[in-house]
Amino acid sequence: MKKITILDIAKELNITFSTVARALNDHPAISAATKKAVRETADRLGYRPNKVASSLRSGKTKIIGVLVPRLDVSFFSSVVHGIEGVMNENGYTILLYQSQESAKQENKGIDTFLRSRVDGIIASISLETEGAGGYGEVKERGIPLAFFDRAPQALDVPSVTIDDYRGGFMATEHLIKSGYRRIVHINGYRNMHIFNERLRGYLDALKQYGLPVDENLIVKGDFSLEFGRHCVRDLLAKGVEFDAVFTLEDFTAMGVVQELKAAGKRVPKEVGVVGFANEAFTSLVSPTVSTLDQRTVEMGEEVAHLFLKLLKKGNYYSHKPEKIILEPELLIRESSSR
């Protein structure tokens, strides 16, 4: 199939290609008759505008780069689902890249986006990213940039996050109010802001309710179901007394529940458990697991809207970066209800 360009349409109609271009772009200074004729022959010939050419000329690609750690984590795929939905409605397409939680791979992604001349980048940083990572250059170049959930503190750009401090606080407060006193908190060993915030919420809740902070109850490690099981085994083996566990995310919480069951501890009767993320399984397992909802799809839609709003304003970096903070929702389920 021969590639059809505006020149072919022009020849067909004995007009110039610039008239064709204008007709196709619905330029006001073109007669309705010409427009109609152009559109008809365009359809007849199977013409498809070449976005590559128009991008080169106009300097706009109508493409947004989306850089996330990994798409097989439901949190991220849900957010991307939200972003794509909104961007698509507004005429943008998504160029997708996964950092696989690696800073090096993340920088490759940024480089690819820069070469691809995306109109902007929406990202959530990898676990390895330090400081602003490779995003400093993006901002310096004046390319619109926004973050969701995992935003680098070192860079002052728009973002949409949830209030992780509140999340940590709410989870802990809820456990305290339910009568639990020795609350273990399993956090990540990485120095990531959102993790630190959840920890800070945990600590402040203890403080506010007059409970002592016991370093033995604060565990750091990677997050996984297996790590949750490991923590419980370890705590029990060490003879550390505890009556509740608040974890950084749900799979760890699930591991905690499983291992507690295996050790003959009743949940929530003897030990209360609260996770984080509202993974699908938390409402299906038994006992159902209390957790914090992170409003994933909404987060994606919000960051897309914020981004579009700023794009329209023009001069993306001339305004004070807006930072939207969503309130997490505490879902009290069986694992912490006694």
Binding site for a second copy (CB under 8 A): 1, 46, 48-53, 55-56, 61, 63, 66, 70-72, 74, 77-78, 80-81, 84-85, 88, 93-98, 100, 111-112, 114-117, 137, 140-142, 254, 279-281, 284-286, 297
Which of residues 27 and 70 has its CB atom nearest to DNA in the complex?
A: 27
Which of residues 16 and 88 has its CB atom nearest to a second copy in the complex?
A: 88
CB of 336 to a second copy, least distance (A): 17
Residues 1-40 that bind DNA (CB under 7 A): 3, 5-7, 14-19, 21-22, 24-25, 27, 29-31, 33-34
CB of 157 to DNA, least distance (A): 24
- In the list a second copy, DNA, none, the entry touching 95 (Cβ below 5 to 8 angstroms by class) is a second copy
Q: Check residue 49 for interaction with DNA (CB under 7 A).
A: yes
- In the list a second copy, DNA, none, the entry touching 140 (Cβ below 5 to 8 angstroms by class) is a second copy
Residue window 55-84: x/- pattern of binding to DNA, with contact defined by CB under 7 A: -xxx--------------------------
Which of residues 1 and 237 has its CB atom nearest to DNA in the complex?
A: 1
Output the six-digit token pair for 158.
Answer: 């728009």
CB of 99 to DNA, least distance (A): 25
3-state secondary structure the chain: CCCCCHHHHHHHHCCCHHHHHHHHCCCCCCCHHHHHHHHHHHHHHCCCCCHHHHHHHHCCCCEEEEEECCCCCHHHHHHHHHHHHHHHHCCCEEEEEECCCCHHHHHHHHHHHHHCCCCEEEECCCCCCCCCCCHHHHHHCCCCEEEECCCCCCCCCCEEEECHHHHHHHHHHHHHHCCCCCEEEEEECCCCHHHHHHHHHHHHHHHHCCCCCCHHHEEEECCCHHHHHHHHHHHHHHCCCCCEEEECCHHHHHHHHHHHHHCCCCCCCCCEEECCECCHHHHCCCCCCEEEECCHHHHHHHHHHHHHHHHHHCCHHHCCCCEEEECCEEECCHHHCC
Q: Are 103 and 133 in contact (CB under 8 A)?
A: yes
CB of 54 to a second copy, least distance (A): 9
CB of 54 to DNA, least distance (A): 3
Which of residues 7 and 154 has its CB atom nearest to DNA in the complex?
A: 7
- In the list a second copy, DNA, none, the entry touching 18 (Cβ below 5 to 8 angstroms by class) is DNA
Q: How many other C-beta atoms can be found within 10 angstroms of the C-beta atom of residue 71?
A: 14
Which of residues 47 and 180 has its CB atom nearest to DNA in the complex?
A: 47
Using a 10 angstrom Cβ sphere, with 0-12 exposed, 13-18 middle and 19 or more buried, the burial of residue 92 is: buried
- In the list a second copy, DNA, none, the entry touching 98 (Cβ below 5 to 8 angstroms by class) is a second copy
Which of residues 77 and 196 has its CB atom nearest to a second copy in the complex?
A: 77
CB of 227 to DNA, least distance (A): 46
- In the list DNA, a second copy, none, the entry touching 11 (Cβ below 5 to 8 angstroms by class) is none
Number of residues engaging DNA in binding (CB under 7 A) = 28
Residue at 157: amino acid letter: V
Cα dist. 91→61, 84, 101, 317 in Å? 11, 10, 29, 22
**Tokens 């760890």 appear where?**
252
Which of residues 5 and 102 has its CB atom nearest to DNA in the complex?
A: 5
List residues binding DNA (CB under 7 A).
Answer: 3, 5-7, 14-19, 21-22, 24-25, 27, 29-31, 33-34, 47, 49-50, 53-54, 56-58
